[in-house]
């Protein structure tokens, strides 16, 4: 039986990956290691096969926690544990540096100590900064790092540590990057779930600046299928970008979901732009397509329909999740509830 150690597996992408791993790899056993900070949610793990999925509450920055949970027969570590929200990193970077940088090094050290076969680091296109607004430029695996937020800088530093572990110690590593994920169970501080839940309640939807910022959107299960392929067949030491070739302006994203929901566009409310807001992200996924035989299965339209349907059917989940502190946090920091990408 293949034994996998997934960090951050109670979060949005992490829980989607855990579910897909259990479905796609019937012989795998997963240790799901998560600190259950504000974005980690045990509700995301409901219904999983407890014979093949074992949850451990722990902090990746605490060496004892990690070494206690990571067994010597583990085949791979998949690191999704991260502080991930740009606005929070602008307000205070401390947690981002601690978790995203130091935590990654703790995991790398533990993986070497336990003799883990492969270490897969899930990163972000934001490490490469912002692209020109023309549609001829794309991020590739060789694009230079140019992070423009504390969050992006912390993820870039984590990538450097993973590369160093491969080069210096010979650890079998793979780094994956992706654009904006969307789909079920995404914490509602993020742009799309905030917009959907607000629209369902006929509340205004905040959009940063002029709404012209462009993001490359990928349905979360498509991203997770790419991670699994990279885990299974990615070259040691490689970096792989996953994108759905689906660039959308933020204003177009909001208008699309309002149209699907039959809600008026008057719900859109433009708010003061984020500090250092990157203008455009766009990913060239050609390498992953060629080396992994990976392609996204969802279109923007089909993925959006699935996402909206899940939030319609899970209003209790939204209510429980939104009862946390993030509303007060944003009102204190920005005078508004901001979830714009």
Backbone angles phi, psi at 50, to 5 degrees: -70, -15
Options 34, 65, 83, 126, the catalytic residue: 126
| Pairing state between β 205-208 and 238-242 | unpaired
Give CATH superfamily name and number for 183-215+247-279+299-334: UDP-galactose 4-epimerase, domain 1 (3.90.25.10)
- Statement: the pTM of the whole predicted model exceeds 0.75: yes
126 is catalytic: yes
222 is catalytic: no
CB-count burial class (<10 Å; 0-12, 13-18, 19+) for 63: middle
64-112 pLDDT, tens digit each:
999 999 999 999 999 999 988 788 898 899 999 999 999 999 999 999 9
CATH architecture of 3-181+218-242: 3-Layer(aba) Sandwich (3.40)
CA atoms within 13 A on the CB side of 129: 11
Options 34, 83, 125, 221, the catalytic residue: 125
10-58 pLDDT, tens digit each:
999 999 999 999 999 999 999 999 999 877 888 899 999 999 999 999 9
What is the rounded CA–CA span in Å between residue 156 and residue 146?
A: 9
Q: For the chain, give every domain's residue range.
A: 3-181+218-242, 183-215+247-279+299-334
Options 65, 83, 138, 151, the catalytic residue: 151
State the pLDDT confidence band at 341, using cuts at 50, 70 and 90: low
151 is catalytic: yes
């Amino acid at each position: 039986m293949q034994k996998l150690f997934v960090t951050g597996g109670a979060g949005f992408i992490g829980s989607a990956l855990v579910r897909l791993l259990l479905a796609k790899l019937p012989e795998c056993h997963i240790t799901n290691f998560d600190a259950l900070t504000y974005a980690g949610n045990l509700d995301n793990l409901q219904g999983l096969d407890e014979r093949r999925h074992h949850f451990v509450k722990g902090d990746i920055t605490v060496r004892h926690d990690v070494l206690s949970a990571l067994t010597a027969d583990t085949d791979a570590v998949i690191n999704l544990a991260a502080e991930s929200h740009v606005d929070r990193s602008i307000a205070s970077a401390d947690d981002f540096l601690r978790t995203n940088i130091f935590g990654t090094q703790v995991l790398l050290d533990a993986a070497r100590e336990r003799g883990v076969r492969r270490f897969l680091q899930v990163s972000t296109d934001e490490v490469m900064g912002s692209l020109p607004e023309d549609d001829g430029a794309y991020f590739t695996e060789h694009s230079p790092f140019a992070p423009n937020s504390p969050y992006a800088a912390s993820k870039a530093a984590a990538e450097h540590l993973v590369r160093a572990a491969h080069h210096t110690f010979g650890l079998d590593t793979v780094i994956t990057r992706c654009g904006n994920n969307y789909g079920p169970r995404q914490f509602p501080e993020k742009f799309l779930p905030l917009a959907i839940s607000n629209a369902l309640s006929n509340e205004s939807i905040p959009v940063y600046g002029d709404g012209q910022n462009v993001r490359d959107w990928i349905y979360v299960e498509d991203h997770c299928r790419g991670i699994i392929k990279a885990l299974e067949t990615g070259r040691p030491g490689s970096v792989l970008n996953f994108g759905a070739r689906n660039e959308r302006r933020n204003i177009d994203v909001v208008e699309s979901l309002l149209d699907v929901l039959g809600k008026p566009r008057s719900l859109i409310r433009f708010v003061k732009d984020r500090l250092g807001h990157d203008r455009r992200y766009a990913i060239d996924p050609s390498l992953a397509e060629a080396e992994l035989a990976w392609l996204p299965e969802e279109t923007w339209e089909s993925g959006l329909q699935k996402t909206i349907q899940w939030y319609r059917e899970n209003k209790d989940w939204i209510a429980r999740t939104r009862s946390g502190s993030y509303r007060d946090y944003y009102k204190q920091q920005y005078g508004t509830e901001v979830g714009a990408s």
